[in-house]
Amino acid sequence: MKKLSKTTKSSLITYGIVVFAYIFCEIFMRTGHMSSLLKGILVPLCVYVVLAVSLNLTVGILGELSLGHAGFMCVGAFASAVFSKCMMETITVPTLRFALALLVGVVCAGVCGVLIGIPVLRLRGDYLAIVTLAFGEIIKNLVNVIYLGVDSNGFHVSMKDAMSLQMEPDGLVIIKGAQGITGAPTDSNFTIGVVLVLITLVVVTNLVHSRTGRAIMAIRDNRIAAESIGINITKYKILAFSISAALAGAAGVLYAHNLSTLTALPKNFGYNMSIMILVFVVLGGIGSIRGSMIAAVVLTLLPELLRSLNEYRMLIYAVVLIATMIFTWSPSAIGFRERYSPAKLFHKREKGVQ
């Protein structure tokens, strides 16, 4: 057998974890050991993993802080839900319909990523963070006031109410402002979610280990040095940012097709969501794709597993967040870990024997 390179091996381990987790969950589900609560959380889990991995591309690989990731998810979700609702009668195979909706959502979010990336990526650091946050909020607000209808004359758009769409009697209102989209087909399931996670992982790991990925990381490590050896900064930045946005759009598609009613609330598409994804990325380890995947799963399951503690669960979540950060980064905690790490203790004992 040909010897695998280190990076290939690492990616294969990541894919292996996903496949193993999938088989494990399926066995549990088939044998009836899974509560309905946990069953309901499986697809959102895939959504969060895709979001965390895609944001890691912006934060970890490109090195720019983005607080508006939920905005791209929102674009993907709404674009694909509109498509699915229009095509509900035309295409009757759910998987095919989902695949096409995915394409629509990904392309829309990717285009948004390019459009937003061009002005935004001129800024740096906290300014970039606040502008991405602003874009996310604008997208959420706009979606909340748009009314979209379709009839024999084509599409009608209004920002006021359903009446001002002036549609034919046979028309169908698709987006009802703040009420969102109701009655879109729920085409996604856990298997599709896992396939999407795998696709995301393949895209991101291959990008990171390619020539393009190395160029992007060179920009992250030293922008001026990268520019001086002839790397086109703007091109690679926008490339990474829009791929990240497109993948967030894919997560949005999965999210939208898991619900029969899709509304843009602060909870699901606001900055709180963007911050939550960022928490996954940072806790999992910035730049580590497997890390953000695991963090997304653990942090989504944690509040559910703590459900017996009721009102204390979010408090515990907050304390875990702070404690993890202090334990990972504070100098005294690092010293403590070095002194008492199992590997070191073991090593010392070995030396003593000699």
Q: How far is the CB of 330 from other proteins (least distance, A)?
A: 4
Torsional sign, CA 34, 37, 39, 44: negative
Q: How far is the CB of 131 from other proteins (least distance, A)?
A: 5
Q: Considering only CA atoms, which of 290, 317, 339, 349 is closest in space to residue 13?
A: 290
Q: Considering only CA atoms, which of 290, 266, 269, 270 is closest in space to residue 280?
A: 290
Beta strand 147-151 pairing with 172-176: antiparallel
- Taking CB under 8 A as the binding criterion, the range among 88-96, 102-110, 255-263, 310-318 that sits at the site for other proteins is 310-318
DSSP string, 306-347: GGGGGGGHHHHHHHHHHHHHHHHH-HHHHHHHHHH-HHHHHH
Q: Of residues 41, 145, 198, 298, which one binds other proteins by CB under 8 A?
A: 145
Say if CB 291 and CB 204 are below 8 A apart: no
Question: What backbone phi and psi angles, to 5 degrees, belong to 182?
Answer: -115, 150
Please, which residue, 231 or 333, has the CB nearer to other proteins? Answer: 333
Q: Considering only CA atoms, which of 294, 303, 248 is closest in space to residue 18?
A: 294
Helix or strand or coil: residue 7? helix
Beta strand 154-158 pairing with 181-182: unpaired
Please, which residue, 168 or 221, has the CB nearer to other proteins? Answer: 221
Cα(302)–Cα(325) distance, integer angstroms:
17
Q: How far is the CB of 299 from other proteins (least distance, A)?
A: 11
Say if CB 175 and CB 148 are below 8 A apart: yes
Contacts with other proteins, 210-239, as mask; x by CB under 8 A = --------------x---------------
Q: How far is the CB of 186 from other proteins (least distance, A)?
A: 28
Q: Considering only CA atoms, which of 73, 126, 90, 20 is closest in space to residue 250?
A: 73
Helix or strand or coil: residue 176? strand
**Rule CB under 8 A: is residue 333 a binding residue for other proteins?**
yes
Q: How far is the CB of 123 from other proteins (least distance, A)?
A: 5
Q: How far is the CB of 140 from other proteins (least distance, A)?
A: 8
**Rule CB under 8 A: is residue 336 a binding residue for other proteins?**
no
Q: How far is the CB of 65 from other proteins (least distance, A)?
A: 7
Q: Of residues 27, 172, 315, 345, which one binds other proteins by CB under 8 A?
A: 315
Q: How far is the CB of 277 from other proteins (least distance, A)?
A: 12
Please, is 20 exposed, middle or buried when counting C-beta atoms within 10 Å of its C-beta (0-12, 13-18, 19+)? Answer: exposed
**Rule CB under 8 A: is residue 202 a binding residue for other proteins?**
no
Residue 349, CA distances (Å) to 335, 337, 354 in order: 19, 17, 9
- Taking CB under 8 A as the binding criterion, the range among 78-86, 102-110, 243-251, 306-314 that sits at the site for other proteins is 306-314
**Rule CB under 8 A: is residue 311 a binding residue for other proteins?**
yes
Say if CB 271 and CB 256 are below 8 A apart: no
Q: Of residues 331, 340, 343, 349, which one binds other proteins by CB under 8 A?
A: 331
Please, which residue, 51 or 192, has the CB nearer to other proteins? Answer: 51
Footprint of other proteins on 110-139 (CB under 8 A): 119-120, 122-124, 126-127, 129-131, 133-135, 137-138
- Taking CB under 8 A as the binding criterion, the range among 40-48, 75-83, 99-107, 315-323 that sits at the site for other proteins is 315-323
Instruction: Using CB under 8 A, list all residues that contact other proteins.
Output: 59, 65, 119-120, 122-124, 126-127, 129-131, 133-135, 137-138, 141-142, 144-145, 159, 178, 224, 271, 275, 278-279, 282-283, 286, 311-312, 314-315, 317-319, 321-322, 325-326, 328-333
